[in-house]
Amino acid sequence: MSRPGERGATVVLCGNPRPASRTLAVGLAVAAEARPAGPEPIVIDLAAAELDRAAALRQVHDAALLVVATPTYKASFTGVLKLFLDEIAGGALTGVVAIPVMTAGDARHALAVEVHLRPVLVELGASCPTAGVAVTGEAIDDPGPALVRWAEAARPLLGRLLDER
């Protein structure tokens, strides 16, 4: 986690219970594709031992673009992420553009990003204008090709929304 209080930043929030996970790497790759000319994203790794939860919550509230990445766990997102998101009041993320991202071992779990993670982000007030990103199987280690296809569709809309901030 870095740069507390920076408004309009890209924030990557990782809900993997293991620090410095492959899920975090996928979230960072999504951020790079979504906002390629933007500054380095702020990273909030919920598994990090030195996590300052109050600062992390402020950074999430202040984000222009919030990438929420989590592994699929029992067909949904992790409890670590759920506990963090429960600290955010409904509607508090109004004005934040969010991209839900889930990694999964099998493509059968790809819909979980739309069915479970997107509704929570919308309930918190975030706008999720693009398709969620599901990275599965071996693509987790090299998500580039799948993300390029996603970004071709998402980047024009994200660019307009983020330029308006």
* Domains, the chain: 10-154 (3.40.50.360)
Q: How many other CB atoms are found less than 10 A from the CB of residue 137?
A: 11
Distance CA 77, CA 29 (A): 19
Which of 37, 29, 119 has the alpha carbon at shortest distance from 67?
Answer: 29
Per the CB < 8 A criterion, the answer to whether 104 and 134 are in contact is: yes
Q: What is the pLDDT of residues 67-88, one digit of tens each?
A: 999 999 888 999 999 999 999 9
Please give the structure tokens belonging to residue 18.
């293991």
Name the pLDDT band for 163 (thresholds 50, 70, 90). confident
Higher pLDDT, 55 or 162: 55
Q: What is the pLDDT of residues 113-151, one digit of tens each?
A: 999 999 999 999 999 999 999 999 999 999 999 899 899
